[in-house]
Structure 1
Amino acid sequence: METESKIETALYLIPVTLGETEITRVLPSYNRDVIVNVKHFIVENIRSARRFLKKVEKSIDIDELTFYELNRHTDRKFIAEYLEPLKNNKPVGIISEAGCPAIADPGADVVAIAQSRGYKVVPLVGPSSIIMSVMGSGLNGQSFAFNGYLPVEDGQKIKTLKKLENKVWNEDQTQLFIETPYRNAKMFETIVSALRPQTKLCVAAGITCPQEYIKTMTIAKWKQEKLPDFAKIPAIFLIGK
């Protein structure tokens, strides 16, 4: 039988670690207090969400919880139904695969519905690779843009890179983008060959994890540098001036 929650009824955006990082290093204890009082979770992957919840609090009875899966395969017409518990004064949590929900993440669709229906939305504190990479890059943190994945085809990718580089120089806006880990080396090679020597590139990989790597140099200097093997490590690329 579901017990009455000890927290306010709301949609809670629950960050997770960016890798195999100790929970206490990146998540405040308040997040645990919220998690143990939530029985309904909207998640990208049920298996990894269960594992994360057990890592936060071993005493959680997973079988008492209800999970709603939200990923690229989910029919968007069902998303609103995931918020039904809020009608009955039961809090709902969103958990993404890494970092903060709704930031470069399908959870934004749920938040938009919650906002349109007047439900309270509570973002919790946690690691965001996007924000932390800007913090550690030394590039302009007053104006920056996250562009997600760039085109896969080389010609279009180079064209997009040059367009982003123009924004860097014309608007002084730092540009961020990502790539599938096994293509990180190819992305790095394309960036270094396509951009101006004086443009700065920051490669931020494995943030908050033991293999964390954040390094910023001009393209000219990167051409003399060998990038570590990031074929299995999520990385963010930032260009600026």
Structure 2
Amino acid sequence: MSGTPGTLYLVPNTLDFGIEGAQAAPLNDVLPLGVLQRAAQLRHWVAENAKTTRALLKRVDGIVPLAAPLQELSIVELPRPAKGAKAPPPADLRPLLAPALAGHDLGLISEAGLPAVADPGAALVQAAHAAGIPVVALPGPSALLLALAASGLNGQSFAFVGYLPVEAGARDARIRELEATSRRLGQTQLMIETPYRNAALLAALLAQLKGDTRLAVGCALATPEGFTRSDRIDGWRRRPTGLPADRPAVFALLAG
């Protein structure tokens, strides 16, 4: 690398996933103007999903004109591991950083929320640090933190555990393990699921958790139809709440 490198900007996305027909909040209600202005200036992008990135930039252009036409922007997707692959070797991400190494600012964007948080972009951030490229995270919505803040559960000590096993027996065992960990540490446990399995995960949580454990679910957060419910498991069982199969949700539990 010669000369001064560009900066890798971690640009937040909305949480509506650009779902067709979804009623989205106005973009400038979700993302700060400074973020929109920075995004509009960037001509080079690394994205989790190029389609959702183009959709967001089209919305940005309606508020802050893009520095170049959308079709002229460079948008490269992060490599995706092959389905069913177990512990694939780490990809060489240095080629994706070529614009920054050549002195151009580069945007990293997730399909939704903050890049590099519960997101494959973390590996690119690590590669940028190793290459001496400055990294700047821009402020925006994170479903995990919004769900935690609205839950009323312990926000001083918490852990994000990602997805639970799909197979019912393994999933039930993992739920009991997380409840035991939460009780021992007084720690909130956060998890997510593919939206079409929201109902199955909620049913498993209600079946496996003890009645005095608290469960919070934040669904479709930062959209007009979003909601959070937080209650003891006994309360959830008395008053069931259905979850949509096409909106993302964050689940949080805290054992007493």
Q: 2:132 aligns with which of 94, 118, 123?
A: 118
Does the CA contact (< 8 Å) of 2:213 and 2:232 recur in 1?
A: yes
Aligned partners of 1:213 and 1:141: how far apart in 2? 19
CA distance in 2, matches of 1:63, 1:114: 26
1:36 to partner: Cα distance: 1.9
Deviating beyond 2 angstroms after TM superposition, the runs of 4 or more aligned structure 1 residues are 71-78
Structure 1: tracts of 5 or more residues without a match: 1-7
CA contact (8 A) 1:18 1:98 kept: yes
Q: CA-to-partner distance for each residue in 1:101-136, whole Å, 9 max, x for gaps?
A: 000111101001011122110000000000111100
1:184 corresponding residue in structure 2: 198
Distance in 2 (CA, whole Å) between partners of 1:77 and 1:103 is 19
Match of 1:222 among 202, 215, 236: 236
Q: Which residue of 2 aligns with 1:12?
A: 9
Return the alpha-carbon distance in structure 2 between the equivalents of residues 10 and 40 of structure 1: 11
The percentage of counterpart residues that share the same residue type is 37
CA distance in 1, matches of 2:100, 2:243: 45
Task: Specify which of 161, 165, 169 is matched with residue 147 of structure 1.
Answer: 161
Instruction: Give the one of 124, 144, 150 matched to 1:130.
Output: 144
Which amino acid is the alignment partner of residue 69 of structure 1?
E
1:48 partner letter:
T
The Cα of 1:40 is off from its aligned counterpart by 0.6
Query: Cα distance 1:229–1:171, how it changes in 2: closer, same or farther (>3 A)?
Result: closer
CA contact (8 A) 1:71 1:106 kept: no
Task: Give distance in 2, aligned partners of 1:239 and 1:71.
Answer: 33
Trace 1:33-182 onto structure 2 (pairs within 5 A): 33-58=37-62, 59-60=65-66, 61-73=69-81, 76-182=90-196
Out of 65-74 and 191-200, give the one that drifted further: 65-74
Q: Which residue of 2 aligns with 1:5?
A: none
Offset of residue 76 of structure 1:
4.8
Q: Deviations over 1:125-154 (max 9, x none)?
A: 000000111100000001101111000111
**2:216/2:253 contact within 8 Å kept:** yes
> More displaced, 101-110 or 73-82?
73-82
Contact (CA 8 Å) 2:48, 2:111: kept in 1 or not? Answer: yes
Please report how far the alpha carbon of residue 71 of structure 1 lies from its aligned counterpart in structure 2 after TM superposition: 4.6
Distance of 1:78 and 1:193 partners within structure 2:
43
Q: Residue 200 and residue 42 in structure 1: after superposition, are their counterparts in 2 closer, same or farther (change >3 A)?
A: same
Query: Helix, strand or coil: the match of 1:223?
Result: helix
Give, in whole Å, the separation in 1 of the partners of 2:28 and 2:193: 28
Provide, for residues 62-83 of structure 1, a one-character-per-residue CA deviation record: whole Å limited to 9, x for no partner. Answer: 1221111115248953421010
Q: Which amino acid aligns with 1:177?
A: M
Residues in 2 aligned to 1:69 and 1:116: alpha-carbon distance in whole angstroms: 20
Look up the SS of the partner of 2:9 in the other structure: strand
Gaps of 5+ in 2: 17-23, 83-88
Name the residue aligned to 1:3: none
| TM-score of the superposed pair, with normalisation by structure 1 | 0.93
